[in-house]
Amino acid sequence: MSIKNPAAHPVTLRRLERHWSQSDLADHAGVPRSTISAIESRRLTPSVSAALAVARALGVTVESLFATVDGAATDLEWAWAPPTHPCRYWEARVGARHLAYPTESLSTNAFAHDGVWKDGAHRSGGASRAAETLVLACCDPGAGLLAAEYARTTGFRLLVLERGGLDALDLLKRGLVHLAGLHFATADDPDRHVAIARNALGAGHALIRAAEWEEGLALPVGGRSDSTDALLSRCDRWALREPGSAARDCLDAVLGPDRAPVGHVVRGHASVASAVRAGWADAGVCIRLSAEEAGLAFRPLREESLDFCVAESQLSEPRIRGLIRVLQSHAHRALLEDLPGYRSRFTGEIRPIPAP
């Protein structure tokens, strides 16, 4: 079974290898040329008989052109290009798309990969769980706990991709994830997620509250107990989150427009804390949980709301409904309250994003 390049359908590639036009392939396969055109432009999922005819004409297996899901031939496509070869990947169904995700952190996603891509083909690890997998782009370091409870109570699987807020929204906009996590909203600006999501996605979306938490400065233990302003002025090397993340937004806000932080960019709250602990940075902005887990001092800067953005049309989808039930459950809310800096006052509440 091959995984398609986002730029070209496997049928197109095989046809061009033979120097055939779409009409040539249609004649050899005994199907209309319009069928070949629709397959190659991804407007048509071919029937089993049409898939067999096209594969036979090209002298390859059906599996090398199409993946099989629920008895129908369909393409398994990369969500983005694999960074390595061979490459392990997970599968998920997002809308009508059957996507392959190169594996990322196993500390957050403690389940086996679904297959391995090698030499332009994939080796499946067994029956596909794509239709049972929910994909969340989010930088919550506690998301693994949510994934564990979600699997235990629903039987579904939660795939967590560690991304900052604007990167997560971009994946949602492109139809590559089901939910995007945001934590820009604060007590002083509680409607910020509404404005950000509406600007990026337009109308037709909603926010599901996941938690509230403290974000602040992660600092080496035993340092001087200066004021926050003094600490900020003394810091020469920062563990920086990527632009578009809420942690970077927080740092830029406290430093002000006249001072650009200097340092190395890392991905995720835990990576910020690790860089400070290792001495590669004087300080960094992350949530309290990550700082305390790394044994660092923590100076709070603001309390933020963590919301999951989702299309309103997906709220009735079984995987999303299951996630909402978990978020609203007493067990999960109690677990959040045990995590340093987390609060669960509004966890599980759903807020539609009104049209402008």
pLDDT tens digits, residue range 17-30?
889 999 999 999 99
Three-state SS at 110:
coil
As given in the structure block, the two tokens for residue 79 are: 């969500």
pLDDT of residue 69: 38
CB atoms within 10 A of CB 126: 8
In the chain, what is the greatest distance between 2 CA atoms, to the nearest angstrom?
79
pLDDT at site 6: 46
The string of pLDDT tens digits covering residues 256-310 is 988 899 999 999 999 999 999 999 999 999 999 999 999 999 999 999 999 999 9
Q: Which one is predicted more confidently, 47 or 293?
A: 293
326 pLDDT tier (thresholds 50, 70, 90): very high
Nearest 5°: phi and psi at 178? -85, -35
Q: What is the C-alpha to C-alpha distance for residues 266 and 191, in angstroms, rounded to an integer? A: 28
| Delimiting residues of CATH 1.10.260.40 domain(s) in the chain | 3-74
The tens digit of pLDDT for each residue in 212-241 reads 999 999 999 976 667 888 888 888 999 999
CATH number of 3-74: 1.10.260.40
Q: How far from the centroid of its chain's Cα atoms is residue 100's Cα?
A: 12
Separation CA 161–CA 136 (nearest Å) = 6
| Nearest to 259, CA basis, from 299, 229, 218 | 229
Residue 165 confidence (pLDDT) above 70: yes
> At residue 141, does pLDDT exceed 50?
yes
Number of helices and strands in the chain (H, E): 13, 18
Domain boundaries for CATH 3.40.190.290 within the chain: 130-356
Topology annotation, domain 130-356: D-Maltodextrin-Binding Protein; domain 2 (3.40.190)
> Which tokens in the block code for residue 246?
């809420």
Mean pLDDT over 241-247 rounds to 96
Q: Identity (one letter) of the amino acid at 303? A: E
Residue-wise pLDDT for 168-220, tens only, equals 999 999 999 999 999 999 999 999 999 999 999 988 999 999 999 999 999 99
Q: How many Cβ atoms are within 10 Å of 13's Cβ, its own excluded?
A: 17
- C-alpha–C-alpha distance, residues 138 and 345, integer Å: 20
Give the per-residue pLDDT at 224: 65
| Predicted confidence (pLDDT) at residue 134 exceeds the cutoff of 90 | yes
Q: Mean pLDDT in the chain?
A: 89
Residue 75: what pLDDT? 64
Tens digits of residue pLDDT in 54-99: 988 998 877 677 754 343 434 678 899 888 888 999 999 998 888 9
Under DSSP, is residue 31 helix (H, G, I), strand (E, B) or coil?
Answer: coil
**Residue corresponding to tokens 């600490």:** 231
The mean pLDDT of 93-109, rounded to a whole number, is 89
* Cα distance between the two ends of the chain: 45
- 255 SS3 class: helix
Helix spans in the chain (H): 10-17, 22-29, 33-40, 48-58, 143-154, 165-173, 192-201, 228-234, 246-255, 269-277, 288-293, 318-328, 330-338
